[in-house]
Structure 1
Amino acid sequence: MEHLPELPEDDTYAPYLRSFNLHYSVESLLHKASLHQLNAHDLSQQFSVNLEQLEGYHHQYSQEQHTTSLEQLFIAVASWPSFLESNALTEHINTCIEYWIEIITNGMPLVDVFNILKCVSLHAPTPNQTIKTEWYFLLFDLISETAFTHQTSQVNYLMDHNPVTNLPNTNVLLREINSHIHSKPSSQLFLMTIRFLIERGAVTISPIMPISLNIKILELLETCLPKPHITYQCGNMLFSILIERDISDIQLGLLMARIKGCFEQIINIENQVFLVSPVVGIAANTLHTDGASAYHQARVALSYALIHHQDFVSYSPAISDEIDNQKKLELDVTSAFNNEDLELYLQPILGLPEEKCVGAEVLLRWPHAKSLGIYPNVMVEIINKVGLGKMFTRWLINSVCRLADDLITQHHLPIYLTLNLRAEDLYDIELPQLILQSIQFWKINPKDIILEITENGILEENETTTNIIKKITESGIKLALDDFGTGHSSMARLRTIPISLIKIDQSFVKRINQSNEDFEIVKSMASLAKSLGKDVLVEGIENIECLNLINKIDIKKAQGFYFSKPMPFDEFVLWAKKNTAS
């Protein structure tokens, strides 16, 4: 079908129908139906229409499904050509196909469409029941085949297009690149893949992302792109742009600036506001053997840009090597987590001025991490990236509760443990119940656990995070604000979140014996916290001079290498028994 009737905008099948292309010739139809009795001489065969029978079906079916296409089909059948003339009959049949495809799509059974078309009879000059029967077989085959072809077309469309934006997807992109390479092997290709990230840290950001955000992003993106180009959607908030020409470095810089500037605005969707930032990976002016290699290069460049927090990156072999190493590291960390190779170390927290152990911070360690040169926070980032973050949090909470139980019941050490939550945990509505279940299972007191949230880790204070924090604190568990002073909203956090303990970041503490400014900053933060009824803990005590100054301003808790480095659990137990008040 070359031309389809215009459909309502809200018609679910509109994009499929518009993409559907089916055309028949009379000769192929007759051959398919084995009407071998008809030869060139028989093209004078006549059609007749049983108008009385057709009117009966019209009255019956119009009551069940009254659509424009059904009416058009009845009109087309009533005006069926009288003679089997190739061009006229071909055009008429293909017009009818348009109508019956739509009414079948809208739910009319195939047999009802067949009944309408059976009102048309094919007659030979002499009575020939075989030709008449074959004509009916032809009609039924035609209806069945067109309906099946249309359904197949719908499936193919879904496989090749995004259901929200109707953009072609990665499957089509790869085919287009392959076609270009084979037809124009010496010409240039410019491919960029763009990942849009939700900006974090702004109070206007909502954690619930509506599907229509992709449509709005696409509308803005199209205003930035040079013509001609083809846009593909390769995932949620992930687009690829194919331009079949060379783009110079200067043009590329201007294009990236235009795209970035286009998204320096708040997007309002469904009464929610969003800030998104584009990150671009580029495979430009390179020789490709196939579409898969071109797309792979663009995705490698995008991965590099995401890892290194860059706005855009062009592919190079060096980048590919680094990404391969990153993927290997991800596999190693994933394997370590799945095989329970990750360990929990404890760093003592001491009460001052007595210098007796009152608690410990639980820290993640991996025996192979040192040889690979990666830090614990990088391991957690990798665990989040590969999709194991939620599982990791559950493992961490249960493990810490188990260790707390061992310290209290087995070793009679009255100390609490602190553990760091991921930023994403504060959006997990199951978190409060999970913590409570672990506490009840290990039969410990809620005061034996303190949850640390980093100042920059709180993505947004909204109804979800507020309710989760409220449920946690109502169960008797205390919250600590880690890395205090390093974020942009320290004072606001003290006012809006029920924090019990403030941990002053070690970046302010390490040099207080050398910097009067750092000493005054720590002193001011401690004074503010105590005036609000918060406990204060300083991190990063590494020498006796720092400790003496901390005691001078009457801070009651501290941790740092001066007292002890993080230790495995059994080693910590021995240390704590020697350094805990009896």
Structure 2
Amino acid sequence: MKYGTYTTLNSKMSKLLQPSLLFALLIITISAILFGNLYQYLAISDLIINKESENSILSRNFNNQITPEIQKNIININSLSSDSIKLSQNINGLNQSLFSLSNAHQNISITLFNLNGFAIAESRSNNHLLNAIQKSDFKIVINNAVNKSQLISFSNHSNSKFNYSSVYSLIPILNIDKSDVIAVLGIKNNVTNSIEIISNSQRLIMLTVLFGLLFFYLIVIITQSKSNKLLKEQAELRIISEEEIRYHAFHDPLTHLPNRSYFQRILSLVMSQARRNETLIALMFLDLDKFKTINDSYGHNVGDNVLIEAASRIQQCLRECDTVARISGDEFTVILDGISTVDDAELIANRIISSLNKIMKINDLEFTIGVSIGISLYPLSDISLEQLIQDADIAMFTSKRNGRNMFSFFEQEMLLHSKQRLKFEIDLRQAIERKEFILHFQPIIDMKTDEVSSMEALIRWRHPTHGILLPSHFIKLAEENGQIINIGSWVLNEACHQLAIWHLAGFEHLKISVNISIRQIDDKNFHSYVLSTLRKYNLKPNKLELEITESLFLECSHTTLKTLFQLKKIGISIAIDDFGTGYSSLAYLKSFPIDRLKIDQYFIREVTKDDDNAAITQAITSLAHTLRLGVTVEGVETVEQYKLLKSQYCDAMQGFFFSKPLSVKEASELLQSA
């Protein structure tokens, strides 16, 4: 649920709740009043019943006590007038008797009536009972009492339904033989105080119920308010959570750049706009050079900081309308929207290369990296989004093959080359299974004895359509796609196997030299695989020499260096192949576990004709010997080269002057003939 939606619903609920709150308050008030009135009705009803019962009991007691006296003094009293009755001496005696009876009972007053409804005697000097009886149609009451000779009770109240003041009872007085009614005894039970108590209780109950319901209502309102607040907080948290999930779904967590999914959405939109507006866009595919070496050498923390810095520098090189995304690892893409010409893309590409070539300072360390860029343009050709990305990727690989740290625009020839490369890569993956690889061996001659001291194992690929292929045709591809580990393991195993055969044939002094890639050394299983291979063929470690290229120095990680030291520690020799053409420095020669330098044949071709080349080979040899390193010269093809290099005290030589690379059979025959 979006926050706006939640706010709208909350507003609607508030509007709906306002009349509901007023209605609830009205219901609470009415409920309190009804409950109070119900209590009053039940209490007064119960009171009247109790008072009538009390009057009934009192009437019996009074009747038994006063009836004889009334029977004695009431003769012919019913025929007297009202004034005559008041003057009668007998009546005064009855007044005293009635007063004595009522005085023992609080709130009780007694009146004696004749059959004509005149008050004969009263316990108190008041006419309230007579007034009440007259108002209640005394004749009907007397007739009922006379006719039925029973107790008649009624209540006196005002216009208010529950405002009772007294409960009245009339008791017929019979003559001595109980054949006729001679008088009526009226008992008035005053309930005013009890009614007041009930009314006070009613008000207290009404207030208690009202405040109780209001308190409960307040609790409900507070609970509802807290629930609404909690729901709002949960909704806000859910919204924030959804936004975070949505953000992380479309952004790289390290650089906070758009990820591959978001990049493709943006690219699709930009391509649609470019088609509609007939504008030009450029897609750049970037791959950082030397990043893997930094990441492996200094750890992922440093590597992550390098990526963050690289992303920041790329962004600074772009316009506001451009987009940069991190696709994976050290790969980035850049969308240049609405460029005028191809020159705009070239300008930005050069700007990015220049920015990334500047020194990076990470955790007190300094690094330099490069970037290989491939660029594809749209809509110069009507292609899909996937094809546009693929074209930029192909152009990027072209930049890498052409020396790295540069940019290349996609051309159709690249696509053809890419398809051929893909087919070639598939063939390469199947070459080991099809047993298409073979080894050739080139002898290495010891200058002290002029005898074959070692053999360098050189791989060849018997391609089913292209024939015999040298390593230069497929090793670089194998390193790029990871096949170099399997191929290198096969070479090491076959070379050691052949060396074991030659040892069994009597050539125990012979060593084997094998070229290895940095990808092999970085493999966590490489060290154990080398040891297991030596044990497998019962070879001593000092009979194996591993050759690495100078470029490894620039890509060497802590893991690589550790592995090389472990191999050297057990007696395996480490040689730098093609020395002099790469980026070696004295620091590398001192810090790396190196046993031998192999001078590249580039210096040997003109060594007898170019004094500079001769001086270089002499300097390398002297340097190596000073560092207690052996020297092997590659590419010796003439006797003049042989004599000059031997005079410079090179330790070993190899080249066509001695022998071309030989098959297993030819190499074995050479050893036999020697």
TM-score higher than 0.5: yes
Determine the structure 1 residue equivalent to 2:579.
Answer: 484
Distance across 2 between alignment mates of 1:45 and 1:206: 72
Determine the structure 2 residue equivalent to 1:296.
Answer: 390
Determine the structure 1 residue equivalent to 2:511.
Answer: 416
Task: Give the secondary structure class of the aligned counterpart of 2:553.
Answer: coil
Aligned CA distance change for structure 1 residues 360 and 521 (closer, same or farther; 3 Å)? same
Determine the structure 2 residue equivalent to 1:128.
Answer: none
Given that 1:455 and 1:490 are in contact with CA atoms closer than 8 Å, whether structure 2 keeps it comes out as no
Distance across 2 between alignment mates of 1:284 and 1:453: 40
Q: Report the CA distance between 1:347 and its aligned residue.
A: 0.5
Given that 2:289 and 2:369 are in contact with CA atoms closer than 8 Å, whether structure 1 keeps it comes out as yes
Q: Report the CA distance between 1:503 and its aligned residue.
A: 1.8
Task: Give the secondary structure class of the aligned counterpart of 2:539.
Answer: coil
Distance across 1 between alignment mates of 2:376 and 2:476: 27
Distance across 2 between alignment mates of 1:318 and 1:156: 41
Distance across 2 between alignment mates of 1:554 and 1:166: 59
Structural mapping, 1:466-477, within 5 Å: 466-477=561-572
Determine the structure 2 residue equivalent to 1:267.
Answer: 360
Distance across 2 between alignment mates of 1:400 and 1:50: 92
Determine the structure 2 residue equivalent to 1:383.
Answer: 478
Does residue 236 (structure 1) correspond to residue 329 (structure 2)? The answer is yes
Does residue 99 (structure 1) correspond to residue 236 (structure 2)? The answer is yes
Determine the structure 2 residue equivalent to 1:193.
Answer: 284
Q: Report the CA distance between 1:400 and its aligned residue.
A: 2.5
Distance across 1 between alignment mates of 2:305 and 2:529: 33
State which of 526, 529, 538 in structure 2 corresponds to 1:443.
Answer: 538
- Letter paired with 1:253: E
- Letter paired with 2:286: R
Percentage of pairs with the same residue? 21
Aligned CA distance change for structure 1 residues 337 and 186 (closer, same or farther; 3 Å)? farther
Task: Give the secondary structure class of the aligned counterpart of 1:185.
Answer: helix
Q: Supply the RMSD in Å over aligned alpha carbons.
A: 3.7
State which of 171, 176, 182 in structure 1 corresponds to 2:261.
Answer: 171
Higher mean displacement: 222-231 or 451-460: 451-460
Deviations 1:401-424 (A, max 9, x none): 222212212564531001112134
Does residue 226 (structure 1) correspond to residue 378 (structure 2)? The answer is no
Aligned CA distance change for structure 1 residues 369 and 489 (closer, same or farther; 3 Å)? farther
Does residue 214 (structure 1) correspond to residue 351 (structure 2)? The answer is no
Given that 2:545 and 2:572 are in contact with CA atoms closer than 8 Å, whether structure 1 keeps it comes out as yes
Aligned CA distance change for structure 1 residues 226 and 406 (closer, same or farther; 3 Å)? same
State which of 363, 366, 375 in structure 2 corresponds to 1:282.
Answer: 375
State which of 571, 577, 580 in structure 1 corresponds to 2:666.
Answer: 571
Determine the structure 2 residue equivalent to 1:246.
Answer: 339
- Letter paired with 1:304: T
Aligned CA distance change for structure 1 residues 341 and 76 (closer, same or farther; 3 Å)? same
Higher mean displacement: 556-565 or 489-498: 489-498
Distance across 1 between alignment mates of 2:528 and 2:453: 27
Aligned CA distance change for structure 1 residues 414 and 54 (closer, same or farther; 3 Å)? farther
Deviations 1:410-449 (A, max 9, x none): 5645310011121344444543333222212221111111
Distance across 2 between alignment mates of 1:233 and 1:315: 21
Structural mapping, 1:513-524, within 5 Å: 513-524=608-619
Deviations 1:124-161 (A, max 9, x none): xxxxxxxxxxxxxxxxxxxxxxxxxx5xx876655543
Determine the structure 1 residue equivalent to 2:527.
Answer: 432
Deviations 1:86-133 (A, max 9, x none): xxxxxxx8x566336269x6xxxxxxxxxxxxxxxxxxxxxxxxxxxx
Aligned CA distance change for structure 1 residues 166 and 45 (closer, same or farther; 3 Å)? farther
Given that 1:536 and 1:556 are in contact with CA atoms closer than 8 Å, whether structure 2 keeps it comes out as yes
Given that 1:206 and 1:272 are in contact with CA atoms closer than 8 Å, whether structure 2 keeps it comes out as no
Determine the structure 1 residue equivalent to 2:27.
Answer: none
Does residue 508 (structure 1) correspond to residue 599 (structure 2)? The answer is no
Given that 2:499 and 2:512 are in contact with CA atoms closer than 8 Å, whether structure 1 keeps it comes out as yes
Q: Say which structure, 1 or 2, has more relative contact order (CA 8 Å, 6+ apart).
A: 1
Aligned CA distance change for structure 1 residues 199 and 552 (closer, same or farther; 3 Å)? same
Determine the structure 1 residue equivalent to 2:456.
Answer: 361
Q: Report the CA distance between 1:462 and its aligned residue.
A: 6.2
Report the number of matched residues: 473
- Letter paired with 1:191: A
Q: Report the CA distance between 1:360 and its aligned residue.
A: 0.5
Given that 1:191 and 1:294 are in contact with CA atoms closer than 8 Å, whether structure 2 keeps it comes out as no
Distance across 2 between alignment mates of 1:407 and 1:478: 19
Aligned CA distance change for structure 1 residues 372 and 326 (closer, same or farther; 3 Å)? farther
Given that 2:290 and 2:370 are in contact with CA atoms closer than 8 Å, whether structure 1 keeps it comes out as yes
Higher mean displacement: 496-505 or 534-543: 496-505
Aligned CA distance change for structure 1 residues 524 and 275 (closer, same or farther; 3 Å)? closer
Q: Report the CA distance between 1:172 and its aligned residue.
A: 2.9
Q: Report the CA distance between 1:340 and its aligned residue.
A: 3.6
Given that 2:281 and 2:336 are in contact with CA atoms closer than 8 Å, whether structure 1 keeps it comes out as yes
Given that 2:251 and 2:259 are in contact with CA atoms closer than 8 Å, whether structure 1 keeps it comes out as yes
Q: Report the CA distance between 1:195 and its aligned residue.
A: 2.1
Does residue 312 (structure 1) correspond to residue 407 (structure 2)? The answer is yes
**Normalised by the size of structure 2, how large is the TM-score?**
0.62
- Letter paired with 2:668: V
Determine the structure 2 residue equivalent to 1:395.
Answer: 490
Given that 2:290 and 2:555 are in contact with CA atoms closer than 8 Å, whether structure 1 keeps it comes out as no
Distance across 2 between alignment mates of 1:444 and 1:356: 21
Q: Report the CA distance between 1:317 and its aligned residue.
A: 1.8
Deviations 1:264-303 (A, max 9, x none): 3222334554322222222224244432232222222222
- Letter paired with 1:293: Q
- Letter paired with 1:101: R
Given that 2:296 and 2:559 are in contact with CA atoms closer than 8 Å, whether structure 1 keeps it comes out as no
Distance across 2 between alignment mates of 1:102 and 1:285: 38
Does residue 52 (structure 1) correspond to residue 219 (structure 2)? The answer is yes
Distance across 2 between alignment mates of 1:54 and 1:576: 102
Q: Report the CA distance between 1:578 and its aligned residue.
A: 1.1
Return the index of the structure with the highest Cα Rg. Answer: 2
Distance across 2 between alignment mates of 1:205 and 1:271: 18
Distance across 2 between alignment mates of 1:217 and 1:519: 44
Determine the structure 2 residue equivalent to 1:555.
Answer: 650
Aligned CA distance change for structure 1 residues 74 and 543 (closer, same or farther; 3 Å)? same
Q: Report the CA distance between 1:363 and its aligned residue.
A: 0.9
Aligned CA distance change for structure 1 residues 399 and 22 (closer, same or farther; 3 Å)? farther
Distance across 1 between alignment mates of 2:362 and 2:490: 37
Larger helix share, 1 or 2: 2
Given that 2:280 and 2:341 are in contact with CA atoms closer than 8 Å, whether structure 1 keeps it comes out as no
Task: Give the secondary structure class of the aligned counterpart of 2:459.
Answer: strand
Task: Give the secondary structure class of the aligned counterpart of 2:552.
Answer: coil
Q: Report the CA distance between 1:370 and its aligned residue.
A: 9.6
Task: Give the secondary structure class of the aligned counterpart of 2:335.
Answer: strand
Note the residue ranges of structure 1 that are not aligned, 5 or more in a row.
Answer: 4-20, 31-41, 58-72, 79-92, 106-149
